[in-house]
Amino acid sequence: MTTAPSARKATEAAAASRGCASNVRASVQQQSAPLNAASLPEHDRPLVWIDGQLYPKTQAKISVFDHGLLYGDGCFEGIRVYRGKIFKCGRHMDRIFRNAERLRMKMPWSRDEVVAVMRQCIAANNITEGYIRLLFTRGYGTLGLDPRKCPRPSMICICDQIALYPPELYRDGMKVIIAKRPKTPTVCLDPSLKSLNYLNNILAKCEAIDAGCLEAVMLSVDGYVGECTGDNLFIVKNGEVFTSPLDVGMLDGITREFVMKTLCPQVGVKCTEKKLRVDDLLGADEVFLTGTAAEIIAVTQVGDKKISAGEGPTTRKLRDRFRQIVTGDAVPED
């Protein structure tokens, strides 16, 4: 009897799903003749890991039917590499696996396997100081929304360089605006879910670009200061550091947490979560942003309001301590 097409497709999908995890293990374990970016022309670097295999940059492709592309259905992490170590690797794994679970993605990989993939990418691309973009997508499926039509998720790992802001801005500080577009309310789409859908942030980023600057502060719909389009935000007032709590609606940033729980205590600065209003922001002695790619950078002007003449003393203490840690011998991977 001939197998029905629908049954045959279901069988193939199940086989693909089982094969996904084994491809990961094979890729990590079989290192007899690994690819190395140094052997490739510049336009083909970096090597990109996709579902069990490293590809030169020009060959790194996904299906046009991947729901990550079609609908932003997936999650990602931006992760720093310092001195060959994966900064706060454990916290990044906590967040991406938590978000994958919130998306009801059935992960065929363990945390250890994902970390092994990242280390493989670091080695293949000869990275000692760099940036990892790790993505879990829903995978290929139909043109409908139904995630059950995607037989297996996909994993992509890119290890390369990133520079959000020019070096002089770390010395002189940067100008930002307050976006007219508010942050998507948490009840609609929780910003702590670092999904592949960043359209709300991108549209606010366009406002910043139109105003001739690189970042925009995003407010909640009820007017509280949350975060910027790609960074968390802190203010300094009378030597004390403040930032809005996560329930205002923002990403639970790894660098944000590191500033609050590690850097502030180490440099003797008190840090308090407090719902900030625009008046708090404009009346601050210092303002700074944090993020994996941005690290720590001062804001010296918000719209037409001058905040400071340059990087303030508290921001400088925190940034100096951060650089001491990530350039030292004990880069934290927890």
Indicate whether 182 and 316 sit together in one domain.
yes
Confidence of residue 35 (pLDDT cuts 50, 70, 90): confident
Helices vs strands, H then E, count in the chain: 10, 15
Q: Which residue in 174, 175, 173 sits closest to 313, CA to CA?
A: 173
Indicate whether 321 and 176 sit together in one domain.
yes
Report the CATH number that the domain containing residue 118 is assigned in CATH.
3.30.470.10
Provide the pLDDT for residue 33.
53
Strand, coil or helix: what is 264?
A: helix
Largest CA distance in the chain: 81
**Per DSSP, what are the bridge partners of residue 242?**
235, 272
In a domain, 133, yes or no: yes
Domain that includes residue 54, residue range: 36-160
Contact 276, 225 (CB under 8 A): yes
Confidence of residue 250 (pLDDT cuts 50, 70, 90): very high
Q: Report d(CA 276, CA 287) in Å as an integer.
A: 12
Q: Report d(CA 27, CA 126) in Å as an integer.
A: 18
Specify the range with the lowest mean pLDDT, choosing from 17-26, 183-192, 218-227.
Answer: 17-26
Please say if the pLDDT value at position 31 is more than 80: no
Contact 143, 168 (CB under 8 A): no
User: Higher pLDDT residue, 162 or 34?
Assistant: 162
Q: Checking phi first, is residue 96 left (phi over 0); if not, alpha (psi -120 to 50) or beta?
A: alpha
- Please state, rounded to an integer, the average pLDDT across all residues of the chain: 92
Percent of the chain, pLDDT > 90?
89
Report the CATH number that the domain containing residue 249 is assigned in CATH.
3.20.10.10
Indicate whether 178 and 319 sit together in one domain.
yes
Indicate whether 175 and 270 sit together in one domain.
yes
Summarize pLDDT for 254-278 with one digit per residue, the tens. 999 999 999 999 999 999 999 999 9
Q: Which residue in 84, 86, 111 sits closest to 334, CA to CA?
A: 86
In a domain, 285, yes or no: yes
- Of 160, 176, 196, the position where a domain reaches its end is 160
Q: Report d(CA 333, CA 80) in Å as an integer.
A: 10
Phi, psi of 182 (to 5 degrees): -75, 165
Please say if the pLDDT value at position 29 is more than 50: no
Indicate whether 154 and 172 sit together in one domain.
no
Indicate whether 293 and 206 sit together in one domain.
yes
Indicate whether 185 and 78 sit together in one domain.
no
189 burial level (CB within 10 Å; 0-12, 13-18, 19+) = middle
Residue type, 140: Y
Q: 16: Cβ–Cβ under 8 A, 6 or more apart, which residues?
A: 151, 152
Residue given tokens 């639970």 in the structure block = 252
Q: Which residue in 141, 161, 166 sits closest to 151, CA to CA?
A: 141
Domain count, the chain: 2
- Of 120, 135, 160, the position where a domain reaches its end is 160
Summarize pLDDT for 63-103 with one digit per residue, the tens. 999 999 999 999 999 999 999 999 999 999 999 999 999 99
Percent of the chain, pLDDT > 70?
90
